[in-house]
Chains A and B, each alone.
Chain A
Amino acid sequence: MTGPERPERARRRAPEDVEDLDPGRARERTHLAWRRTASSFTAVSAAVAKFDPAGGVALLVMAAGVWTIATRHAAWRPDCTGAWARGRAVRTIALITGLTALISLLVAVFAEGRPS
């Protein structure tokens, strides 16, 4: 186990076969991809908050949810490699991306924008 998981948690959860815990670096790459995605959500939410505080705060709350999924659920649970065990996280992210686009669309249509 060479991933950045805290050692005491790793010991508590470690299965007998280390391959089950660590399928190459795939888990780590996936974890980083989750974190990049969460960062992107935060950036877009902050941008929306600049133009429309109410929508932006709603999106920032959702971005916090994405961070929670990204750091806790998504990549580290050793028992969580099965596709449909991970499906809920993927569905949640797809839904939040759709909501982000929807709120941004409303801001783009109804907010005034920069005057000349």
Chain B
Amino acid sequence: MKTALVFSRFERFWHWSQAALIIGLMVTGFEVHGTYKLLGFEQASSVHTWLAWTLIVLWVFAIFWHFTTGQWRQYIPTGENLLAVVRYYSVGIFQKDIPHPYKKTIRAKHNPLQRLAYLGFKLLISPLIWVTGLLYMYYNDWPSLGLGALSLGTVAFLHTLAAFLMLVFFIGHVYMAAFTGHPWYSYLKGMVTGYEEVEE
């Protein structure tokens, strides 16, 4: 075991700014949805739009980063060890001195469950939320874009669905990533400092 830089500076910047933006988008989004009143509809929808564009820009950089550094390979799903990890979180974690079955390396820093969760985030939740969100923003241009047959209700439905999925992911992720290490905050610390214990 050694301590090494697992999360580069860009990756940490990306992660934390994305986290802040997503929290802001959820807070304003559910207000626009009519769930509660906080900023008022006008403010909420305008902030929501600005945060969305900021996140889109961030994503463009992140996608570029993933492909140029080859880091996208970190998310290739694998069945190897998956059951062991699931078993660890559902049984082993409650017992003393049962180690995490996955040994992370710099080249494979996510365990099989993480890979699946993050891949789902990147390939399912995010695209759904972006596509429906952008459609929402350009609602007035649908006819000229040849999308006249779309209904706002459908787009709103899918956008709301994606928002709920995002919130569920968020809760699960925050718990797993911030509270399940050894000591409990070790993963959180790694995401802040960038350094974690990895296999040689």
Q: Do A and B come from one complex?
A: no
